[in-house]
Chains A and B, each alone.
Chain A
Amino acid sequence: MMGLLAAFAALWVSAKNLFRPMTTTPLPWKGRRDLPERYRTSFALVHDEHGDEACIGCKMCEKICPSQIITVVPGGRANSEKTGKPRGWCKDFTLDLNACIHCELCIQVCPADAIVMLREQDTPGFSREDLFLSMEKLYANEKKAPSWGTGARLIGMQEPPKPPKPEAPQAEAPKAPAEGATS
């Protein structure tokens, strides 16, 4: 008998839930949930403020990537047509999203803020090639909504601005492209 009463308590709970608002959001093509600022899915390569491709081919992301899915072919040093200043260039950049674990480390180490993650829900691909991001696809992704995180912001969050001493991270950055260019 007590069991029956307890069963009614459970029935009451489930009946109460009939009138709660739904917690699932409709399928992706019917609407999207609000994505937080730091949401991270796919990747994009961006242009810098002068309109040049921001990637300097330093291979930092390639080295830090735990799944080793990034391949950077550095393009050597050359003068930028926009600014006239010498800088490193990237000849080819591929990222295999099939094996990506979305750890955001490549974003964090990028000294040029060239690679960002997207604040968009992933559109699934129909083949493995769809998830293999070539340089063109990465630059095409630039038009999509980027995530909050860039190299400078992530580093800035972890290292609050300090007086002169910790110049080391900034000092490293220019060195890297040179290294990339010679290799």
Chain B
Amino acid sequence: MAVGHGHLPEPVAALIRARAAVPNPHLDVESYDPEGDLLVLNLGPQHPSTHGVLRVKLYLDGEVCIKAVPYLGYLHRGVEKLCEKLTYVQITPIVDKNDYVAAFSNELAINMGFETLLGVEPPPRAQHIRALGAEMQRVASHLLWIGTFGLDMGGALGGGATLFMHTFRERESILDCFEVLTGSRFHYNTLQVGGCRHDIPAGWETLVRQTFATISARIEEYESFVRTNAIFLARTRGVGVVDAELALSLGVSGPVLRASGVDYDLRRDRPYGLYRELKVNVATASAGDCQARFEVRLAEMRESIRLVNLLLDGVPEGPINVLKAVKLPGTVKPKPGIGYAAIESPRGELGTWVVADGSDKPYRCKIRGPSLHALSLLPYLAPGQNLSDIIVTLGSLDPIMGEVDR
């Protein structure tokens, strides 16, 4: 399912790009600008549009960026080290905080990693709950992204804020569904090694159906708000064009990669869990600019809503956990070995690489977050761009700093 447009109009960005002498991410500023004439602007870590605590050191010639250097680590919490200190059953609530707008995906990735070590497979009902939660979380996460993308372009005191409030209104209703399921809105701790902790309560399916019916009706509104809007098109079309080869070489995945024309989605190409039986339509676009990323995310939301409705139809009865419920910290003890499991989180390939040494704690746990790889595009995209475009480009990459810094 290809969305967006195949050909690019004469991009304004190319004109600006021509002004920047060397669009090179590894530019040696000292030799480029021995006089020190460039304006060095520290964008962040406290800035309204850096999506958290990202700091980008921009070398600006007027308002055109010559070089951009992102500085990470302002949100480093040592999650991977924590994983070595905690037992397998205690890790789930900790990794919730990685990609804090899509906590369900984190839980799914880490627990699937542990399950590959144990060699267990959750029962069908648990698989359904997991797939449902993941798709709901995808919609919630993309809704948040659309809102913040509006903020990046329309400002906190303007149309962007209205769009933000509207998408948040819908996102809140999804969080309400999660709240009914798990009792918590953001950090659910609802998955465990071998299955789920919370079963679907009575009446939940109706609630989810109603919520998603509303959302699918209102997606049209967001579209009319931005998609047909000349200002939105002017700000996004041809801006921040990601080359497919560059994206692949940097390990970018998810909507950013698909917007560059690479048809790659783990749900279809390396299916896990219920996706082995589920046919997922993967949205791609060829332009690779901010508008294409918007289109891809919008199409993904539609697809996720379809999947949610589909999954709700066929939730089987049965147990939700293949292992015994956790009653002690050290009940899960995989044999020594290495396991990797990856899921398609709202931002791309979210992987967990675990080394077990036979104890109840992982010897090493590496979390492969897609945000870091998406963010690594910024030094390539920013040179030659206007300051305003850098903000839009950064927003369109959708980095979540909790996942970048971990």
Do any beta carbons of A and B sit within 8 angstroms of each other in the complex? yes
A contact set with B: CB distance below 8 Å: 2-4, 6-7, 9-10, 12-14, 16-17, 23, 36-40, 60, 63-66, 101-105, 108-109, 111, 117, 147-149, 154-155, 157-160, 166, 168-169, 172
Complex contacts, B172 vs chain A, CB 8 Å = 23
Across the interface, do A64 and B93 meet the contact criterion of CB distance under 8 Å? Answer: no
- With beta carbons under 8 angstroms apart, the residue of B166, B230, B327 that contacts A60 is B327
Across the interface, do B184 and A159 meet the contact criterion of CB distance under 8 Å? Answer: no
- CB-nearest residue of chain B relative to A40? B183
Say yes or no for B249: interface residue by CB 8 A criterion.
no
Contact with A along B185-229 (1 / 0, CB 8 A): 001010010011111010000000000000000000100111011
Across the interface, do A172 and B327 meet the contact criterion of CB distance under 8 Å? Answer: yes
Say yes or no for B47: interface residue by CB 8 A criterion.
no
Complex contacts, B195 vs chain A, CB 8 Å = 158
Across the interface, do B89 and A105 meet the contact criterion of CB distance under 8 Å? Answer: yes
**What distance in Å separates the Cβ of A50 from its nearest Cβ neighbour in chain B?**
24
Across the interface, do A108 and B326 meet the contact criterion of CB distance under 8 Å? Answer: yes
- With beta carbons under 8 angstroms apart, the residue of A4, A6, A17, A155 that contacts B327 is A155
Complex contacts, B182 vs chain A, CB 8 Å = 38
- With beta carbons under 8 angstroms apart, the residue of A9, A63, A105, A111 that contacts B224 is A9
Complex contacts, A60 vs chain B, CB 8 Å = 327-328
Contact with A along B165-182 (1 / 0, CB 8 A): 010010010001001111
Q: Which of B86, B221, B320 has the most CB of A within 10 A?
A: B221
Q: Which of B166, B172, B226 has the most CB of A within 10 A?
A: B166
- CB-nearest residue of chain B relative to A3? B230
Q: A37-B201, A66-B86 are in contact. Are A105 and B93 (CB under 8 A)?
A: yes
Q: A37-B201, A102-B187 are in contact. Are A2 and B230 (CB under 8 A)?
A: yes
Say yes or no for B94: interface residue by CB 8 A criterion.
yes
Complex contacts, A36 vs chain B, CB 8 Å = 176, 179-180, 183
- CB-nearest residue of chain A relative to B126? A158
CA distance A159 to B324 in the complex (A): 7
Complex contacts, A154 vs chain B, CB 8 Å = 197, 325
Which 6 A-B pairs have CB atoms at the shortest separation, nearest pair first? A3-B230, A38-B183, A103-B93, A158-B325, A103-B189, A66-B90
Say yes or no for B281: interface residue by CB 8 A criterion.
no
CA distance A104 to B198 in the complex (A): 11
